[in-house]
Structure 1
Amino acid sequence: MDRRRPVAPGRPDGTGAVRRICTSHRMTAALHAFPSAEWVAAYGAAINASDDYRTASTEWTHGAVALVLPAAPSIGVPEDVAIWLDLDRGVCRAARLLPRQDAQQAPFILTAEYRYWKQILKKELGPIAGIMQRKVALQGSLPIVVRFIKSAEALVDAATRVPTRFLDEAK
């Protein structure tokens, strides 16, 4: 099995109901709406394709991370949603879009308004800076998050590789 190619969420060993995807820039024509199940699946694959994330996160055994987006009806997000990332030792074992209440058991929950998530995805705001500036609310251990700052940066880098259409921008 070719372990260099990214996989959509599935088992960490690459088996099961996963699909291999190409992440070259030639395949960026299809934009995924943020947030959407398609965007989250592509994000999970981008995380698994990231050597930087894998290297920075080999010691991450602290569980899942939930990225929560409060409802923004004016742009088409009628209810609170969460992106669930099941992360373990440099691998994204699953990436799912869930209702907010289904993500409350995550050991780490980051909550921010749409505009701040957009700034993070565009690398205009760092995730740790967002926490310190209170633009991003953290539930979980700040010392652990700070210890894994390179992992957080690599997660943002992976997100920037997902062809993204922001809901508040013209189509």
Structure 2
Amino acid sequence: MNRPPQAPTPADTQRLALLVEAEFIQLREFIAILEREEALLVAGDSDALVTLAQEKSDRYRQLQRLHDDRALLLARLGRPDSDASMRELCAGLPRVLARWDELLELARTAHDRNAINGRLIVERMAANQAALSVLLAAADHPQLYDADGQTHPAHGGRMLGSA
């Protein structure tokens, strides 16, 4: 059920400004993590990537909580979680609007960097799969995995002593 729009109290406006600032800071730090992730992907440093993955997940959860808090505040004020709502509520707050614009730009940057990292991961996985295929073919004993994840040599060709 949608609530009718209501005017924000000064406390609501302050809360909104604080949420925008906090989200901006967290998103800037998230982008720094994405930049480190890209460098590690290029370098092929798998061990460091595993460590960074937890930090990335934690930062993402923090960003999601801030976004959810902002969306809840907007909903309580009877407004959708949208750029238009933010611009309406912050119309008299030029510094908050400027920060909001910076936040939107950072969100685009994070999206683009995450897409680049995703492509790097796919490329790395393809290279690893190709290397594994070469190694298995060179061994002339391709390994098959059963339902329990155990390896078993493929059975093919003739058994010794059979005609």
Please indicate the TM-score interval, normalised by the length of the shorter structure: under 0.3
Which one has a bigger Cα radius of gyration?
2
Structure with the largest fraction of helix: 2
TM-score (structure 1 length as normaliser) = 0.22
TM-score (structure 2 length as normaliser) = 0.23
